[in-house]
Amino acid sequence: MENLYSLTAHKLKELMTKGETTPAAVAEQLFSRIEKCDGKIKAVVFNGKDNALKNAVASSGKNGRLAGVPVLLKDNICVKGEPTTCASKILAGFRPPYDATVTRKLKDAGAVLIGKANMDEFAFGSSCETSCYGPTKNPWDTARIPGGSSGGSAAAVASDETILALGSDTGGSIRQPAALCGVVGLKPTYGRVSRYGLIAFASSLDQIGPITKDTEDAALLLSVIAGYDEMDSTSVDLPVPDYSKALTKNVKGLRIGVPKEYFIEGLDKEVEASVRSAVALLKSLGAEVKEISLPHTEYAVSTYYIVATAEASSNLARFDGVQYGLRADNAKDMIDMYIKTRSQGFGNEAKRRILLGTYCLSTGYYDAYYLKAQKVRTKIREDFDKAFRACDCIITPTSPTPAFKIGEKTNDPLSMYLSDIYTIPANLAGLPAISIPCGFSKEGLPIGMQILAKAFDEETIFRAAYTFEQSTEFYRKRPKI
């Protein structure tokens, strides 16, 4: 039998049900794998081995949908009593007194929580380089970034340091690292998964979602974490389908839209070729393909960096050294303590976004920036509404390039922000979107394809993604570490 840590959750569940392995055996192998590989990858910032091994033993023979399956959580998702720092010095030592709703749902399903994954500080970044713990590295080439901000989650799945992972996606932070690490990453519809217990970046954009080895695992994990939650006022009270039933290898009659605005200058030629080849394959399998237009796409990045930074500056005001986390020493008075704590606790990118957001919300600039951005956001949503009258799903590249070198864009924030140019519109419109592997560059780096659908129509996404995945071998490839 192959190594247990290299298997999918659905395969492990099958083996456990047959009695061919145990949750304890899986957990033991996985922690050995982390010990062997994470020194090179730096994906795991909190290793919960002791608790996880106890929980693995306790889950043996249980019937939960994820009983005995290891899951790694991004470091901005609260787990009661365990470190949750958002990869920031300002939350050093913080241990939440409660579980996030997704954490509780995972525990109820019998999952074994194995620790916390590295991330960009407060999810501010596209490269996993802004973490106070240092950068995570791409398992396919450790000189390169894994994508961000859920870079630790994606790198851990790609390097077999976990079976399943959760990330959060505000402007592409699940999909972009999934693409760059050659795994599957899904941003559910806004409101489909509770945000209670997710430390907020931009509350109108954030969404928790799965990062997995294949589409079947993504459907399984979403079925567990999705659903209404009265603790989250933006959670939507709709029934949760069994997403596994959408995994049919059949796209006959499926109308696929390809937006012309996504295939322009700046898109890497190898990425474009891989995505166009994927669309051609789906067409050969019976899908109908048509070119569509999303005319306000060019305004998405600038709109996002007004809305997101404005909400971030508001959300991060609570981190002040008074009740928890870092508190600066030698302050003269309370105001001095605030200034010193926030100056010492936040990294450069966090400070940049707080300053930008505060400026956009300030008197005299609110109407010129924030209000105008919200109006453009509505236009972007209307573009999608119109497009979905003509098609069932939309296919685009996930990232404009394969993974770039560590340090290559750290001094060029604008270039870094453009890494999310293809993923941001789905967040602004609140739509579901997935990234699945669709090819490799000449240098052997993974390339991802993004599939979007109407709000709460994750089933169409799974149908298209599963059909493509089962017709190719890209998702089976793993890096040699």
The torsion region of residue 282 among left (phi > 0), alpha (psi -120 to 50) and beta comes to alpha
Distances (CA, A) of 229 to 101, 151, 251: 8, 27, 33
Based on the residue annotation, tell me whether 6 is a catalytic residue of this protein. Answer: no
State the catalytic residue, choosing from 131, 153, 173, 223: 173
- The full 3-state SS of 359-421, as one line of letters, equals HHHCCCCCHHHHHHHHHHHHHHHHHHHHHCCCCCEEEEECCCCCCCECCCCCCCHHHHHHHHC
State the catalytic residue, choosing from 149, 159, 399, 435: 149
Q: Which two tokens stand for residue 384?
A: 């999608």
State the catalytic residue, choosing from 13, 42, 74, 105: 74
Distances (CA, A) of 89 to 12, 65, 410: 37, 36, 19
Distances (CA, A) of 25 to 6, 65, 104, 156, 299: 13, 18, 24, 19, 51
Based on the residue annotation, tell me whether 233 is a catalytic residue of this protein. Answer: no
Cβ distance 176 to 198 under 8 Å? no
Which residue in this structure is represented by tokens 């931009």?
Answer: 202
Name the residue among 444, 421, 389 with its Cα closest to residue 175: 421
Based on the residue annotation, tell me whether 244 is a catalytic residue of this protein. Answer: no
Name the residue among 459, 432, 431, 433 with its Cα closest to residue 241: 459
Question: What residue type is 463 in one-letter code?
Answer: R
Q: Which two tokens stand for residue 137?
A: 């590295």
Cβ distance 401 to 425 under 8 Å? no
Cβ distance 102 to 193 under 8 Å? yes
> Could you give the residue numbers annotated as active site?
74, 149, 173
